[in-house]
Amino acid sequence: MYQSSTEEITGSEASESGQTCARSGLKGTTASSFCPASVSSALSYQSSYVHTPSSSHAPCQPGMTSAAETQHDAATTMTGLVSSSDSCSVRYPGGTPRFRRTPGSAGPTGTTGSSVSTIAGASVIVAVVEGRGLARGEIGMASVDLKCPELVLSQFADTGTYAKVITRIHILMPVEILMPDTSSEKGKGTKLFKLITENFPGVTLTAIQRKYYNEKKGLEYIQQLCAPEFNTVLMEVQAKYYCLATAAALLKYLEFIQSSFYAAKSLKVIFKGSEQTAMIDSASAANLELVVNNRDHRSEYTLLGVLNHTKTPGGARRLRSNILEPLLDVDTINTRLDAIQELLQNEDLFFGLKNAIGQFLDIDRLLSVLVQIPKQETVQAAEAKITHVIQLKHTLDLVPQLRMVLKTCSTALLKAYSTTLEDNRFDVILEQIKTVVNYDTSYIKGSLNMRTQKCYAVRPNINEFLDIARRVYTEIVDDISGLVNKLGEKYGLPLRTSFSTTRGFFIQMKLDGVVLPDGSLPTEFIKVTKQKNSYGFTTADLMKMNGRCDEALREIFHMSYVVICQLLTTIHEHIHCLYKLSDTVSMLDMLLSLANACTISDYVVGKKPLSPNLPKLFGH
């Protein structure tokens, strides 16, 4: 495999000019104006497209969809999906109420909202509906995190204060809330609509036509998309009409704001009741400073900040969820306490797990993109899919290490997770990946390093034209290095080849002890930038070589993408075991975090109270 010795520049040299939401495919509409402002600003990953069996525009295979047909169908259906009624308003702090724009129009950006919606990386969309007439107070909710392929459904009876609804929305931290247009008709919004508007001023509120809240369509969606491991949810929700209705509206809405669609039988669908958890209303959570410090929202002096020593995003999410929704089941609590006690008593187990867990990526986010199929083939989609397969290989390579560490555990919970890791599908997927991907390909930090890994990810002799394209790429990179060396000799300057995401290959020169001829750089050097004690610049010839290099990469990524898609087709039937891996890693990470909090403080495990100093942390 080709190894690059070129120095990579990070920081301001590598900063991107900005990220935009995924393309919608609407004719004459830019991506950023099509997506809701809240979603556009929160997401950098691919999002999801969902197909319903009754849809008149079923997605074709990548590269086969007519652009004009897609644009016309999407524009027509979106016009009918989102209500154009001006009665659905969104309030922004420090300003006057504004009406929610449809996704096809330019919306407000850069608004500052409540702590609920300003959490970095928030990407949850929630649909809410309330029963009418005698069913008033019966609430249905459905939510999807666009970075996690999980549809969460719930239905419950609420009081006139709607405390349960408000609390659940606070826990979810949505960037957008969908409600029926009838709840805000002619400016006379329902009590629930007004409460949500008041409690979540920084969250986009979108009115969806009531006809899309259809429980039959919701059930069809779930039957089509639910992974086999979670099929039991169908028995739980088939009579829950309101949560099925919100699922239909939510998935229909997602269908037209995303650039890809979920593969069939790939989604984790769960029905979440409130019987096994305590409900802490949003006011109490704020007063107790469970997750947000009231004086300084950036401060870590909260219960979450004190206990959070997690190493993975999934572990941090689980810890936050358990703090806001504490368990009530005594047996489950004691089982977790036993596991924490074992971690504290077994030093090898504690540090072995800590080392293994710390190497995992965000498995939920990886799963989300693996089960999605892009609507259109693009260079970006091809490059992203190659990256995802490399990340999948990296994740599966870590399973044997985690499996080995848990071999010595003795408590019931840790043994259960050890058994989960014995699933042979992990090994099956890894072996299938290794038939296509080089053994030494790995996920490493740095854009240039990852570009090299992606370029040489597919094993040689699988595609002859791919091997030729990679040789061409290698020769161009060698020519770039040779050009910089010649320029250094020509002008007697210490030049070196550097790389950044925005500029590609360029020339860098440190100023330490360097005397420039005539006190300035040669005129051949263009696009000069200065940072601290170094110059960055390029030449006309180097810019041409960068263009040739990018063209060679496009060819490589396109041909690699074809091979990778074939690989993903073969492993898709086994991919659902990653849901178990995600659950295992996040729970182990949370338990390690709690055990770690005990080791650095005088907290104890069991029925004894926590440290008497703990209330002082919160000023109580």
Q: Which of 507, 514, 509 is nearest to 537 (CA)?
A: 507
Mean pLDDT, range 14-41, rounded to an integer: 35
Q: What is the pLDDT of residue 260?
A: 76
pLDDT reported for residue 518: 74
Work out the average pLDDT over 99-128: 49
Task: Read off the DSSP letter of residue 57.
Answer: S
Cβ partners under 8 Å of residue 448, min gap 6: 4, 6, 8, 499
State residue 7's pLDDT score.
Answer: 60
- For the segment 59-68, the average pLDDT, to the nearest whole number, is 39
Higher pLDDT, 83 or 302: 302
pLDDT greater at residue 244 or residue 603: 244
Q: In this predicted structure, which of 181-195, 446-460, 562-576 has the lowest mean pLDDT?
A: 181-195
pLDDT band (50, 70, 90) for residue 83 = low
Distance of alpha carbon 180 from the chain centroid? 27
pLDDT for 187 beyond 70: no
What's the mean pLDDT in 50-58? 38
Burial 292-305 (b: 16+ CB within 10 A, else e): bbeeeeeeeebbbe
Of 395 and 517, the one with more pLDDT:
395
Q: How far is CA 372 from CA 41, 66, 385, 545, 551, in A?
A: 21, 20, 10, 35, 27
pLDDT-derived band of residue 131, with 50, 70 and 90 as boundaries?
confident
Q: What is the pLDDT of residue 186?
A: 59
How confident is the model over 342-353, as a mean pLDDT?
A: 94
513, 491 contact by CB (below 8 A): no
> Who's near 55: CB < 8 A, 6+ residues apart?
255
User: For 69-73, 183-187, 362-366, 480-484, which range has the lowest pLDDT when averaged over its residues?
Assistant: 69-73
pLDDT digits (tens, 9 = 90+) for 216-266: 999 999 999 999 889 899 988 988 999 999 999 999 998 888 777 888 888
Alpha-carbon gap, residue 472 to 435, rounded angstroms? 24
Q: Which residues have CB under 8 Å from 298's CB, separation 6+?
A: none
- More confident call, 260 vs 369: 369
Q: What is the pLDDT, as a whole number, of residue 113?
A: 34
pLDDT of residue 115 exceeding 60, the answer is no
Q: Which candidate, 254, 249, 183, places its Cα nearest to that of 217?
A: 249
pLDDT band at 128 (very low <50, low <70, confident <90, very high): very high
pLDDT of residue 22: 35
Mean pLDDT to the nearest integer, 518-533 = 86
pLDDT category at 387 given cuts 50, 70, 90 is very high
pLDDT value, residue 604: 67
Residue 610 in this model has a pLDDT that exceeds 70: no
Distance CA 511, CA 530 (A): 10
Q: Tell me, what's the pLDDT at 169? A: 93
pLDDT of residue 472: 95
Cα 434 from Cα 449, distance rounded (Å)? 20
With cut-offs at 50, 70 and 90, classify the pLDDT of residue 78. low
Give dist(CA 234, CA 271) in Å, integer: 9
**pLDDT at position 91:** 35
Rounded Cα–Cα distance for residues 527 and 509 (Å): 14
Q: What is the mean pLDDT of the chain?
A: 79
- Alpha-carbon gap, residue 90 to 87, rounded angstroms: 10
* Lowest-pLDDT choice from 180-184, 319-323, 346-350, 593-597: 180-184
pLDDT band at 12 (very low <50, low <70, confident <90, very high): very low
Say yes or no to pLDDT of 3 above 50: no
- Looking at residue 123, its pLDDT comes to 86
State residue 137's pLDDT score. Answer: 84
Given a cut of 50, whether residue 98 has pLDDT beyond it is: no
What's this model's pTM, rounded to 2 decimal places?
A: 0.76
Using one digit for the tens of pLDDT, what is the confidence trace for 413-464?
Answer: 999 999 999 999 999 999 999 999 999 999 988 888 899 999 999 999 999 9
When pLDDT is cut at 50, 70 and 90, the band that residue 27 belongs to is: very low
Q: Give residue 605's pLDDT band: very low, low, confident or very high (50, 70, 90).
A: low
Report whether pLDDT(199) > 50.
yes
**Most confident by average pLDDT, 143-152, 436-445, 583-592:** 583-592
Which residues have CB under 8 Å from 343's CB, separation 6+? 349, 350, 353, 591, 592, 595
Residues contacting 606, CB < 8 A, separation 6+: 337, 341
